[in-house]
Amino acid sequence: MSAATNRPQAAAAEAFAGWLQGLADGSTAGEEQGWLSAERQQAAERVRAQSVPTGKSEEWRYTGLRSLIDQGFVQVDEPLTALTPEDIEEVLVPGLDACRVVLVNGRYSETLSDLGALPRGVRIGSLRAMLASDPEALQGVLTRIAGAGNHVFAALNTAAMQDGLVVLLERAALMERPIEVIHLSVGMDAPRVAQPRHLISLGEGAQAQVIERYVSLGDALYCTNSVLEIALGRDALLTHARVQQESLNAFHITGLYLSQDANSRYAGVNIGLGATWARTDLVTRFSGEHAECDLQGLYLAGDKQLIDYHMDVRHGLPHCRSRERFKGILHGKGRAVFDGLVYVARDAQQTDADMSNRNLILSPNAEVDTKPQLEIYADDVKCSHGTTVGQIEPEALFYLRSRGISAALARRMLCLGFAGEIIDVLGPEALRDYVTEQVGERLERVPLE
Amino acid sequence: MSAIPAEATTVKTKADTTGQYDDLVNAGYEHGFITDIESDTLPPGLDESVIRAISLRKGEPEWMTDWRLTAYHKWLEMPTPTWASVHYPQIDYQAISYFSAPKKKDGPKSLDEVDPVLLETYEKLGIPIEEQKALAGVAVDAVFDSVSVATTFREKLHEAGVIFCSISEALQDYPELVKQYIGSVVPPTDNFYTGLNSAVFTDGTFVYVPKNTRCPMELSTYFRINTANTGQFERTLIVADEGSYVSYLEGCTAPQRDENQLHAAVVELIALDDAEIKYSTVQNWYPGDENGKGGIYNFVTKRGDCRGHRSKISWTQVETGSAITWKYPSCILRGDESVGEFYSVAVTKGRQQADTGTKMIHLGKNTRSTIVSKGISAQHGQQAYRGLVRIAGRAEGARNHTQCDSLLIGDKSSAHTFPYIEVKNPSAQMEHEATTSKISEDQLFYCRARGLSEEDAVSMIVNGFCKEVFNELPMEFAVEAQKLLSISLEGAVG
């Protein structure tokens, strides 16, 4: 019996390995710096060395890769230049005043981006362009944080990256206008995978606000495998919002690798609404004491959607603080996976870590798999986690119904109240309103069950 | 590149406070001694002939021999599990002797006929069989190594219709009952250690409580590992028929020795309609010396099946011993409105490692489960809570509450929490909470200011921390558990 079931599995593993290798190998960009091609080669080596993730490997326990492999995505090679600013109007956030960067299918678009005047000490631009014009600025920074991690898709990204966004803030630079990054995907005739690589680096005491949005034109089928590295210097402050609104046919893989120096502060909000299959890895490392990392998130998963958040926060030094607060609403046949790990090393005394994951299930066919983990080797710490899974309180519904509110509206109100706790953290106001509207619209489409 | 600045000062002050109590740590293992009794032991090694020999010596029916052999062949193909966060050298399964029975001329018919050296052993352990017989009303099926040597109160139980005997006897006297239930909750192929156990188990307990019967007394077995180099492979099977109730106590101590000993037991509980099983464990196997040498490897599979509607299975455990504990007493909540409970206190100190927790599998409607896990980790102790709560799609109205708290004593100890939560039903209510902390200076200061010694203060705080679990233990056990906890933490405090 086992032999019979193993055979297709082995075949799938082989197909996957072949696919990964093809992507890793066939993408060397050629005319670039020695250090980067060395990095690429090592990454390609790591991809080769990795055993193919299956349901048996802990990191992919609840997230099957079969549907991804079956698509046979091939790398995007040519930039798509046909779009005009009018074409992207439909995906903009109304009333949002921001310095705008647009990437189309993973390639930085000069024509669509609108940076405006940048303050002193702030550089924003294309990774590809900077690798050509000023590679020294990136050496030792790019790939340092996402480094030799064993995440197969991050390694694949390193091997195959072609372009992306670079934001560099010098010491004490202050970027007051939010930086809006629109990752726009447009369907091609064959299913394509874009593998952009982004870098945000804030020098000592620098401050910035970044809004990343993943959007698409139409219901295209495509795959995004992006990696974002963030380096925060001493006392730096980054406010970061990520709104994932990929097409409902899309596959979305992102890795966010964060390195925080002493006293720095990172406040991130992740909103996951789109994609049929989405996997996000948030990885935080502290390189100085008294740093603070705040990760919050909201995800809505409906029919044929799988949304997976993996979090890995490692406290290696004393006196750091981390917060993870994720909330999810599941409807239809939606599935969500939450896997959070807080690791406190022996020397990381006085660590303050808190993790919570709360889920609301609206339909009998939805599923949530949550795994909040603590791994603690120091004794003078304050660490806790909490998880809940439940449905809307019948009493709360009854209360609203008895005041003449329709069942559908009552449910929407309660869900928005539940989600509001996360949405309210978002800034600026235009973005907050936009996300509230998106979530509200989405909830409106959920049939009563 | 700038080097990562290590905050040496904080760490140092911590180490200093810990050092203060280190002198108190070396309280030896209280129950460490070896009883010198001739044993009938098979030579080390495992193959088909050993299994046949065990089966033959036990005079088992043929289907049992076949069952063992099937398990053995499956086991040969199984990999050793590596996912638990415990570390130990590879076990050489060919170096273990799989059978050891105390030699006896004729089977003892009453306590008077039992080898006096054995009785003395029990007395050293504080199990006064006679006294218990007279006063406490507890029936004891004491397992000395692998064969039951003393069974009391059989008749009284017999009157009530309760079957309480060793599993070997049950295979002789009630083969059809054993055949019906054995392996039905924990199949031999469940995991590596259940495969091994199914192939070579030598003894254990069988309990059957008939319909609508409340077992007239608490059943109790004291396990004890004695002869050097014999792993104990116990097999416990408890069946509570419709509307019955039974409370079962299990306690273990083991003599001090240098070689690691393997203990791979399997416990299966089956509760039919309206039945309730309460299973309490106090585990105090030899934990090894302060460097982690010696000590028992406790790789146990315990699982209860709430097969009937409105049935209930409750696990309570106090784990203070063993070098390595790998144990997840679980409940399968199959019947509608069935209830599963897991209350646990685990203490790791010295070089002890524990990876323990539970699984609550909700299948029936309106099933409820409660998990309360308290972990205390001192010195170099390593501890992990690993739990699974699965609420299946048809488990309408299922409810789970999980609370796991860890208390760290000393900056070299560690505590981990790995909960897995899988919910497939919208009407389910599931809550999980976990905290990790140390005894606060304020709490200690408060007690000290009222004239309590530091040790007493810590003992009091720890007992308060564990109270929720101790409350679930039967009275006699609760007292023993509290005592055990204070002995275990003696000197480990800081």
Report residue B13's pLDDT band, with 50, 70 and 90 as the boundaries: very low
- Alpha carbons within 13 A on the beta-carbon side of B299: 22
| Structure tokens, B114 | 């039992």
Which of B99, B228, B223 minimizes the C-alpha distance to B150?
A: B223
pLDDT score recorded for residue A160: 87
Q: Which residue has the tokens 């006293």?
A: A263
Please check whether residue A127 lies inside any domain of the structure. Answer: yes
Residues 6+ apart with CB under 8 A from A317: A286, A287, A288, A289, A345, A347, A348, B4, B5, B6, B7
pLDDT in tens, chain A (449 residues): 344 445 556 666 677 777 777 777 755 555 566 788 888 888 888 888 877 777 677 788 888 888 888 888 888 777 787 888 888 898 999 999 999 999 999 999 999 999 999 999 999 999 999 988 888 888 888 888 887 667 889 988 988 888 999 999 999 999 999 999 999 999 888 888 999 999 999 999 999 999 999 999 888 899 999 999 999 999 999 999 999 999 999 999 999 999 999 999 999 999 999 999 999 999 999 999 999 999 999 999 998 899 999 999 999 999 999 999 999 999 999 999 999 999 999 899 999 999 999 999 999 889 999 999 999 998 888 888 889 999 998 899 999 999 999 999 999 999 999 999 999 999 899 999 999 999 999 999 888 76
List CB contacts (< 8 A) between A288 and chain B.
5
**Rounded to whole angstroms, how far apart are CA atoms A394 and A398?**
6
Report residue B117's pLDDT band, with 50, 70 and 90 as the boundaries: low
Which of B323, B463, B345 minimizes the C-alpha distance to B404?
A: B345
| Interchain proximity B417–A318, CB inside 8 Å | no
Query: What mean pLDDT do residues B474-489 have?
Result: 76
pLDDT score recorded for residue A425: 94
| Interchain proximity B414–A373, CB inside 8 Å | no
Please check whether residue A121 lies inside any domain of the structure. Answer: yes
| Structure tokens, B479 | 């007292």
Please check whether residue A181 lies inside any domain of the structure. Answer: yes
Residues 6+ apart with CB under 8 A from A12: A66, A69
Residues B250-302 pLDDT 10s: 876 544 454 557 888 999 999 999 999 999 988 877 787 777 777 888 899 99
Residues B152, B218 contacting (CB under 8 angstroms):
no
ipTM of the complex model: 0.78
pLDDT score recorded for residue B146: 42
| Interchain proximity B418–A362, CB inside 8 Å | no
Residues B314-373 pLDDT 10s: 999 988 888 899 999 999 999 999 999 999 999 998 889 999 999 999 999 999 999 999
Task: Tell me whether residue B470 is exposed, middle or buried, using C-beta atoms within 10 angstroms of its C-beta: 0 to 12, 13 to 18, 19 or more.
Answer: buried
Please check whether residue A410 lies inside any domain of the structure. Answer: no
SS3 state of residue B447 = helix
The residue of chain A with its CA nearest to that of B407 is: A379
Question: DSSP letters of B77-142?
Answer: HPPPP--SS---PPP-GGGSB--EEE--SS--SSGGGS-HHHHHHHHHTT--HHHIIIII--EEEE
Best of A342, A389, A411, A449 to substitute, by most chain B Cβ atoms within 10 angstroms, is A389
Residue A441 distance to chain B (closest CA, Å):
22
Instruction: List A residues 269-288 in contact with B (Cβ-Cβ < 8 A).
Output: 287-288
- How many domains is chain A built from? 1
In this complex, the residue of A317, A366, A377 whose CB is nearest that of residue B426 is: A366
pLDDT score recorded for residue A110: 92
pLDDT score recorded for residue A167: 96
pTM comes to: 0.81
SS3 state of residue A346 = coil
User: Who has greater pLDDT, B148 or A206?
Assistant: A206
| Interchain proximity A318–B7, CB inside 8 Å | yes
Best of A352, A374, A375 to substitute, by most chain B Cβ atoms within 10 angstroms, is A374
Residue A324 distance to chain B (closest CA, Å):
14
Residue A423 distance to chain B (closest CA, Å):
23
| Interchain proximity B428–A389, CB inside 8 Å | yes
pLDDT score recorded for residue B57: 84
Q: Which residue has the tokens 């010694």?
A: B453
pLDDT score recorded for residue B108: 45
Residue B420 distance to chain A (closest CA, Å):
5
Please check whether residue A389 lies inside any domain of the structure. Answer: no
User: Who has greater pLDDT, A35 or B383?
Assistant: B383
Instruction: Give the domain extent around A272.
Output: 2-288
pLDDT score recorded for residue B137: 40
| Interchain proximity B432–A388, CB inside 8 Å | yes
pLDDT score recorded for residue B135: 34
Q: Which residue has the tokens 């399968």?
A: B332
In this complex, the residue of B83, B409, B432 whose CB is nearest that of residue A387 is: B432
pLDDT score recorded for residue B359: 95
- Torsions phi, psi of B128, nearest 5? -70, 100
In this complex, the residue of A349, A361, A381 whose CB is nearest that of residue B11 is: A349
